[in-house]
Amino acid sequence: MEIYFDSKDLNCKTPFGAVGTGETITLNAYCKDGVFVEKAYLYVYQDGVDIPTEYPLHYVETVDGMSLFSVELDNLDVGLYWYHFVFFTEEGEIRVDKNGYGFQLTVYDEDYKTPDDLKGGVIYHAFVDRFAKGKDKNAVFTKRGVLKEWTDPLTICDEDGIYRANDFYGGNFQGIIDKLDYLQDLGVTILYLSPIFKSASTHRYDTGDYLQVDELLGTEAKFKELITKAKEKGIDIMLDGVFNHTGADSLYFNKYGNYDSIGAYQSMQSPYFNWYTFYDFPDHYHCWWGVTVCPTIKPTPNGFRDLITNPINGVINKWTTLGVKAWRLDVVDELAEDFVKRIRKAVKRGGEDKLLIGEVWEDASNKIAYDTRRHYFQGEELDGVMNYVYKNATLAYAMGGSVQDFKDTVYELLENYPKQSLDCSMNLIGTHDTVRALTILGGGTNGADLTKWEKKDFRLTQENYDLGVKKLKIASAIEFMLPGIPSIYYGDEIGMQGFEDPLNREPMQWDNINEEVHGHYMALGKIRKDYREEMIGDIEIANDDILILKRKAKKTITLIANTCPYRRTYVIEKDTVDLLTGKPLKKGRLILDQNKVFIFEE
């Protein structure tokens, strides 16, 4: 290599990663001695601009056979940038870039801040209808569908072959209140609830009325009681904001006439008519991914935006005033950016300590959605995202992937995201939209070769289940150690299985808790609580054939894991304790069998 530059190396770039406006960036490239450099330039492209800004590199010194060339950047505007170097030598031009593309530089507003009090915590994701059913005479069933017993099997389609998501199990606010001690024992600090607003389905992503809680969950007073009692145990509430589409069975669309309103489906004179796109009124309309029960909201209807963000009687104001701490935006990449900005302002109107995260499945710092670059982390939109990038890397490593691939992915986001955004992002290994982690880790499959009915009846063999538990311990330990806020999808912490929706949404198996898995998750929660400062501190991943991941602040917490089929060793410098099991670890060589993980203080 004649020219050396690594954007992750502090000898080459300071400060590391994304930068705020007003910061000065120093870039250093090293040229092998013996290569005669006539001149060298840095080319910086602001995203969307074809003509770069050219900066000359200046020779500084030669040390140990490497000539240092340096340049400083300052006064960059908020935005996304790409840069590369060109060295002009006596033998021709040498371009230095990243895999044929420019290195990425994220520049955010220097005033961009995210809520500090939520960092270092633990999220619990409850799919409300399936988490817990408490005794509440005010939680009433008035829906078209069936109310099942808690142990009844799932419905995956009706007799006509259509799945209508109208099989209810009656999980409610009182049930969650009854389980707050359970959540506290897991170290939960944020309870993320799937949609709670009035709707026709069990998942409630087809909102009927944003200003009412669903009657099957209980009353607004009961929800307020949940907020209050959860807060007493150090748990804040995060709601699911579904603002890209409504329900067809809703106050606004009213396809079935179940609401006392003139819905868009019923009349072109409806006050809600211009919220939706009709191709052939009334039955042919634009809907979310072709799902007719979820008609899509147009990108720019001011009436809808006012409903959501009005500072006096808007949806966000109402529930935030009631005590909601955080919001998760469903399919945020389908919302117009100016709308996301309005939502952020509405959320932060309740205080800068309020959290706003979005559902993004890719690198959110450079995502292009519907041919438009998004700007989630530059100061005017999100605090964080659902970190599916880390999910994929974590599960891949737990299933035997390479440490280097895992490290590369982790550092990619460390470099591209502002630290304050990554610390507020939602780490996960499973959600209501994915195959359960244990099913993947135990079977190594996403079920692509199985029919819907085979998936419904599928259970891991005992051998594969036990293997899955070992790998789940590794994956969850990594999830809890990475920058961000780990999220437990209900049931993962007790060893539940299941393929994708709706098979990942079985009622919580309170009578079938895997105590080994549950105890492991409680230990992880305690680690997050005891070492909260370290969990928002520095991170370091070693270059090794085992995973060595360290979090550092006043103390150093180390995770070591081995997923390869051969025994490996790690040298412990002092007597310590495995924080996952409470067992002592002696100074000296520690043997790691395959699928083994430890976390300890060094």
Same domain, 173 and 195: yes
Residue that terminates a domain, selected from 532, 548, 583: 532
Report which residue type is found at 484.
G
Q: Are residues 255 and 343 in the same domain?
A: no
Range of the domain at 80: 3-108
Looking at the 3D structure of the chain, how many domains does it have? 4
Does 95 lie in the same domain as 163?
Answer: no
- Pair 228, 249 in one domain: no
Domain boundary among 483, 502, 532: 532
Q: What are the Cα distances from residue 337, in Å, to 216, 272, 362, 375, 420?
A: 34, 22, 17, 8, 20
Give yes or no for residue 1 having a pLDDT over 90.
Answer: no
Nearest alpha carbon to residue 340 among 359, 325, 363, 323: 359
Q: 143-156, pLDDT tens digit by residue?
A: 999 999 999 999 99
Confidence (pLDDT) at 310: 97
266 and 237, same structural domain? no
Same domain, 357 and 419: yes
113 located within any domain = no
> Is 595 inside a domain boundary?
yes
How far apart CA 530 and CA 482 sit, in angstroms, is: 16
Average pLDDT over residues 423-437: 97
Q: Which tokens hold the place of 382?
A: 């999100």
Strand-pairing partners, residue 167, are 146
Residues 198 and 272 in one domain: no
Residue 487 resides in a domain: yes
AA identity, residue 314:
G
- At 34 the pLDDT is 80
**CATH code for the domain of 25:** 2.60.40.10
pLDDT at 448 over 90: no
Only one residue has tokens 């007799």, namely 159
Is residue 27 within 8 Å of residue 69, measured between CB atoms?
Answer: no
pLDDT band at 100 (very low <50, low <70, confident <90, very high): confident
Q: What is the pLDDT of residues 111-143, one digit of tens each?
A: 999 999 999 999 999 999 999 999 999 999 999
CB 142 within 8 A of CB 55: no
Q: What is the per-residue pLDDT across 464-510, written as a single tens digit (0 to 9) for each?
A: 999 999 999 999 999 999 999 999 999 999 999 999 999 999 999 99
* Residue 96: band (very low, low, confident or very high) from pLDDT cuts 50, 70, 90: very high
Q: What is the CA radius of gyration of the chain?
A: 26
Distance CA 201, CA 144 (A): 9
**476 and 575 part of one domain:** no
Q: How many CB atoms lie within 10 A of CB 15?
A: 12
Residue 317 lies in a domain: yes
What's 563's domain CATH number?
A: 2.60.40.1180
Mean pLDDT of 542-548: 95
What is the mean predicted confidence (pLDDT) over 229-236?
98
Question: DSSP states of 87-114 as a string?
Answer: EEETTEEEEE-BTTBPEEEEEE-TT---
What is the Cα–Cα distance from 160 to 90, expressed in whole angstroms?
75
Residues 30 and 89 grouped into a single domain: yes
Sign of torsion over alpha carbons 93, 45, 335, 381: positive
Model pLDDT, residue 444: 63
3-state helix, strand, coil in the chain (%, to 5): 25, 25, 45
pLDDT above 90 for 64 = no
Segment 297-308, tens digit of pLDDT: 999 889 999 999
DSSP 433: T
End-of-domain residue from the set 485, 501, 532: 532
pTM over 0.85: yes
526 and 597 belong to one structural domain: no
Tell which phi-psi region holds residue 563, choosing left (phi > 0), alpha (psi between -120 and 50) or beta.
Answer: alpha
| Model confidence pLDDT, tens digit, residues 336-388 | 999 999 999 999 999 999 999 999 999 999 999 999 999 999 999 999 999 99
Note the Cα 361 to chain centre separation in Å.
8
Peptide bond into 295 cis (omega under 30): no
Residue 349 lies in a domain: yes
Phi-psi region of 62 (alpha: psi -120 to 50; beta: other; left: phi over 0): beta
User: Is 117 part of any domain?
Assistant: no
Q: What is the mean pLDDT of residues 12-17?
A: 97
Q: Given a cut of 80, is residue 445 above it in pLDDT? A: no
d(C-alpha 178, C-alpha 410), whole Å: 38
Give the DSSP letter of residue 72: E
Residues 261 and 302 in one domain: no
Residues 312 and 437 in one domain: yes
In a domain? residue 512: yes
For the chain, the average pLDDT equals 96
Task: Between 448 and 509, name the one with better pLDDT.
Answer: 509
Q: Which residues of 442-481 are buried (b: 16+ CB within 10 A; e: fewer)?
A: bbeeebeeeeeeebbebebeeebbebbbbbbbbbbbbbbb
Cite the DSSP H helix spans in 51-163: 128-131
459: CATH:
3.20.20.80
Q: Does 104 map to a domain?
A: yes
Q: Are 154 and 506 in contact (CB under 8 A)?
A: yes
Q: Looking at residue 403, what is its pLDDT?
A: 97
